[in-house]
Homo-oligomer: A and B are copies of this chain.
Amino acid sequence: VDKKLRQSIEGRMRAAGMRVTPQRFAVLEYLAGTHEHPTAEQIGVAVNSRFPTASRASVYNVLHALRDAGMVHEIYLDDAVARYDANLAPHHHFICRACGLLDDVEWQIAPNPPSAIGGGRVVDSYEVILRGLCADCGRAASSAGPG
């Protein structure tokens, strides 16, 4: 079940001119297998629970290498902590105001993203952060009632 995944991961690393180390493999495999957007610390904990050990510094090092190689996205949301995402397909994010749940959203903006927004600025990408209530928190709020 993982032979293909393993080769895909290693192949992509090599294509980027990176050496393949157990730490790097573990981090990318972990990121590829989650829909969450873990912080460096969460990644470190998860990876270390399965592999010899990846020191904090190496986790950061690996994440930066993967980011620079374009293999993961580094995103900043409401707190001053970097989060990482192996989902390279265009997508946006939803944050639950009540519980902090962080989720991907497939919804697409407008018919097309704007290419020019005035002032001579040219847009080539965009990112949307939607806020509101997730299903659970929405249910809780409506059963509490308005008053």
Contacts and interface: CB of A to CB of B under 8 A. Distances in A.
Given A79-B76, A81-B80, A109-B110, A124 B132 contact: yes
B123 A135 contact: no
A125 B119 contact: no
Contacts of A121: 94, 96, 103, 130, 132-135, 138
A115 to B, nearest CB: 9
A19 to B, nearest CB: 28
A90 interface: no
A94 B121 CA distance: 9
Interface of A: 76-82, 94, 96-97, 103, 105-107, 109-110, 114, 117-135, 138-139
9 contacts: A94-B117, A106-B117, A119-B135, A120-B139, A124-B133, A125-B130, A125-B131, A126-B129, A128-B128
